Structure 1
């Protein structure tokens, strides 16, 4: 029996269901699918126009402090931002630069003197700005940026300077055309001493749009995608700004040049400052998820009506989604998209509770451990969600054949626009290294806290595991039902722990006297990345399982449990080599995993349309010739806009 997509949508909308409903209604009025042949300047102008219309809607205000006219709803504004991924990703990125990066930096790194002066105009879209962190020569290595901010006590000004071309701020959104001010990250120098990277507000354009003295602005030009965003380059030739332009929430400079900070450790201060900007990574993951959902909606709906080759029994051509190979392309990807959606929802909730403006000081959510956990989850889920988007959108393009290659059918633009998501707001490989580093630190602390008996038991468990692996006994002792969620989770937990313990043993060599620490780390990088991915796979599965447990409807809970099972088995199948090599499953059981995936694909085939309708993507943003077959085919369902209340007739799809 086909489930009601409206009921499924309510589950997917979750904590901020009202925000999602408002965004669908508001954004349905915007032109969010630009013509493919717009010139760069026309596209940029359209994106800026839509940005201002977003500001007029009041939605971007929701993420700012209520004391300055904001709504104080951090989770709500990130949820709304992600929904832009259903429409125009250039608008999503430009909005993210303006209110997430530029405005967010002023909010969290600045103090009342900055909030009073700038926040309202930033929220209203009257002051458009940039987030000038990345340099031509330093991308992920933010700690060693080369732009300098040298304090002059005689004038009480900072001198912002680009010492060489490698220190030029590069790929900066809003810089080439619209930005009038930039949050510039630079090495702060007072009295000849460098205090590390800090952020300062630097005007870059006058009211008439011309570059200010000492500021050189370049244009990155046409890109593979996101050409509605005016990415540019910034260089500074001894540009002076007042002392008050230092965003001084975590550190300040007195009139005489005395530097002070409540955080004494320079390294800890640096990572604390960057940690407050974690919202950007969470937002990128959400936008990638929305784009992936849109691609799957297009491909699955097309596959449910596109016919190819005749059934030898009936003589009728078969819809391509009835072929197992086509189901294999799309349905495991759909299951992973669901899993990442629920993991993203948990992440947004965690961030909201941690960064909420009304959170009580000293509450549990404000602990350093909570912030570290948030940063680790955000790094891991951003990496996995954006890699998944890149792979899935390509698969959807292929699943739609030549039609999927036409610009009018939206998939090529989705593919081009999301490609850079894997490297901005943190290169994915570097982010997974960050995850692995945190996991290793936590692992070391966990083992270090064991008493003598505990350490002996720990060593014995390691030896027993090694013996079970060599003899194949492990697969015999723990031979569970592949359909059982507890057994599926056990496999993923065991993989995570196994990889982490092995990585810790390899990295311990770096502590030996005279060891070449870089060589040890470099030689184990591949292992660390695999361990980090295993960790993210497990936390994503846990989020999905928790979401299924919260569903009250037995029918809907059963459907989502099947999707959850397909996600889990797809992960296991994708790493069968590990499970077989280390004795967790036999070779015969590995074949059974593949058969279980095939079975679930067949069981979920009748529900495929329901599952993509559950995303609630406004129908206007899916309107393209690719789906014309739905109107022409007798098998096509009638699908009203998600904003309408009439039930959707999906019986024919099943």
Structure 2
């Protein structure tokens, strides 16, 4: 089978765009940046940013009215494809056009769009997204920076060290303006976190009066991104610099908003900014694909140890242990790819709608949180596995894996800490009316969950009785989906019951949820794993080519059974599999790895990563470099 037949399925709805971006990436000069100094790397990436600004990619996510492409999903796909190359470029591009530009577009109104979007798109106005503070990262609602309305202007101020804007991309070197998130105060009352466009440098590159800029310095990776710290000392900006789509302040200081609830307004505002979270998940997937391509190609040629009575050494990928390292990771990467594609399509649909459905928007936010968490954790684990699979050679910078590992490490904690994101997923599972859920107090929420959901969740449990856990059933897609659905429903039901018991009586609200966090995180994870399996199964079902469909069906089954095997204790402890069938699951994973081994190279080549980004030294060596003839001569001499 030609890899291109699978590539066609992987590329999906945005196939033409993916081909275009591949061609552009293939034409870009690329070399390993591990030997560059911080200053050299930053300068190189900013130069590449200017080249990128001349293409259509950065414009895709902006409205056509202002010179954009009007393709929100396409903009996410374009950032995902950048993940095949220097991840510093992907992150810096994401800051400029995804976060900074996206905030101006989605939180601002026409006057902001007309004044700034063209300059943002062509990089005339490099900018920052200044949300995170030294003392508050995940807890955005309680940021300490203030924006006080005074005399027709807003005064942006950092009241103490923990309110300093920290780890801000583009701040240390190139940014000229920042979207600053701060507590809006007018008439002596806080109206919650809002976003303000604040100049941070003049045209000569000097900090604006009252703005202090520090360099975060050398990081563990992504050193082409100039992360910095911003402090504001009573910096005045015009009233029009409030990005006022969700809240306006009149000349006399009167505050107006189409959303009365402060909580609902805050979460609605943040919900519009999930494009960055979705983009991170996609880019993480690209990095995992790149690592797997290197490791699988190497394992398909590298030889180690002889079979008895044979001079020729065994190819690494013929060893079952090596297959178990790489092929389940490859199957999971495929599964997450199709989940990402489905997520991007939903994002495109909802953010392109004039009046998006609020319930579906909340579901999108929850799904984006879960997929981002699982994708970035998977990437971190997969790159480490690939490094180990390449032995000591994998530890050399020239073989690219250590750079990938360093650059993707932070993905698990930016655009949302993964642990917090899984709690967000679980919270969304416990109620379909999330705005009401968040307006309730913590203790009231627990009681609401118990009253509303325990019975309903219990009714969804499917039966996986005796006879359905035999070896044949393991390969049945219906059984796999029911197993994942059953596990999700059972875990959610248990969580609801646990909260109900904890909330009875005079329970401490904090302790109610703190004592159940292990259960909350499991609920978020098993739900997302079910969503990922469903997306993969849907993609397989949609394949028109029977040969491709059969191969992807086996890859999907490997993902499903590998996931069951990883959580085998749960399936055994809860009676979903008979005690003896745990071995059958593990045996099925082994059998699928052996079945897919001849297709491993095809499956990674189907990612269609431009070859210049796979230029690892271990892939440039002759595949049979070992001195086989010497061994043959030694064997003859001994006989």
Cα displacement (A) at 1:58: 2.4
Aligned counterpart for 1:219 among listed residues 215, 218, 221: 215
1:414 aligns with 2:404: yes
Paired with 1:107 and 1:87, the residues of 2 have a C-alpha distance of 27
Partner of 1:48: 46
Aligned counterpart for 1:280 among listed residues 276, 280, 298: 276
Paired with 1:370 and 1:458, the residues of 2 have a C-alpha distance of 20
Partner of 2:438: none
**Structure 2: 5+ residue stretches without partners:** 434-446, 627-639
Partner of 1:333: 329
**How is 1:20-31 mapped onto 2 (pairs within 5 angstroms)?**
20-31=18-29
CA contact (8 A) 1:20 1:79 kept: yes
* Structure 1 consecutive aligned stretches of length 4 or more whose deviation exceeds 4 Å: 443-450, 457-462, 630-634
Cα displacement (A) at 1:445: 8.7
Deviates more, 1:159-168 or 1:305-314: 305-314
Partner of 1:106: 104
1:297 aligns with 2:293: yes
**Structure 1: 5+ residue stretches without partners:** 469-473, 635-654
Give the SS at the match of 1:57.
coil
1:606 aligns with 2:602: no
**TM score, norm. by length of structure 2:** 0.93
Judged with a 3 Å threshold, the aligned counterparts in structure 2 of structure 1 residues 458 and 552 are, in CA distance, closer, same or farther, namely: closer
Deviates more, 1:96-105 or 1:483-492: 483-492
Partner of 1:182: 178
1:254 aligns with 2:250: yes
Cα displacement (A) at 1:626: 1.4
Aligned counterpart for 2:62 among listed residues 60, 64, 80: 64
Structure 1, residues 17-65: CA drift from partner, whole Å, max 9, x if none? 0010000111212234343210000000000000110001121011100
Cα displacement (A) at 1:630: 5.2
Aligned residues: 611
Partner of 1:649: none
Paired with 1:461 and 1:333, the residues of 2 have a C-alpha distance of 31
Aligned counterpart for 1:566 among listed residues 546, 558, 573: 558
Cα displacement (A) at 1:77: 1.1
Paired with 2:334 and 2:111, the residues of 1 have a C-alpha distance of 43
1:78 aligns with 2:76: yes
Paired with 2:121 and 2:326, the residues of 1 have a C-alpha distance of 40
CA contact (8 A) 1:509 1:520 kept: no
Judged with a 3 Å threshold, the aligned counterparts in structure 2 of structure 1 residues 116 and 620 are, in CA distance, closer, same or farther, namely: same
Partner of 1:200: 196
CA contact (8 A) 1:205 1:211 kept: yes
**How is 1:304-315 mapped onto 2 (pairs within 5 angstroms)?**
304-315=300-311
Structure 1, residues 398-430: CA drift from partner, whole Å, max 9, x if none? 000111000011100000000000000000000
Aligned counterpart for 1:345 among listed residues 341, 344, 348: 341
Judged with a 3 Å threshold, the aligned counterparts in structure 2 of structure 1 residues 546 and 461 are, in CA distance, closer, same or farther, namely: closer
Partner of 2:319: 323
Partner of 1:651: none
Cα displacement (A) at 1:631: 5.9
Paired with 2:106 and 2:363, the residues of 1 have a C-alpha distance of 19
1:368 aligns with 2:358: yes
CA contact (8 A) 1:429 1:529 kept: yes
CA contact (8 A) 2:460 2:489 kept: no
1:398 aligns with 2:398: no
Cα displacement (A) at 1:460: 8.6
Paired with 1:69 and 1:439, the residues of 2 have a C-alpha distance of 39
Deviates more, 1:27-36 or 1:612-621: 27-36
CA contact (8 A) 2:450 2:496 kept: no
Partner of 2:520: 528
CA contact (8 A) 2:88 2:222 kept: yes
**TM score, norm. by length of structure 1:** 0.91
**How is 1:366-515 mapped onto 2 (pairs within 5 angstroms)?**
366-442=356-432, 475-476=465-466, 478-480=468-470, 481-515=473-507
Paired with 2:227 and 2:489, the residues of 1 have a C-alpha distance of 42
Judged with a 3 Å threshold, the aligned counterparts in structure 2 of structure 1 residues 176 and 476 are, in CA distance, closer, same or farther, namely: same
Cα displacement (A) at 1:281: 0.4
1:128 aligns with 2:126: yes
CA contact (8 A) 2:458 2:493 kept: no
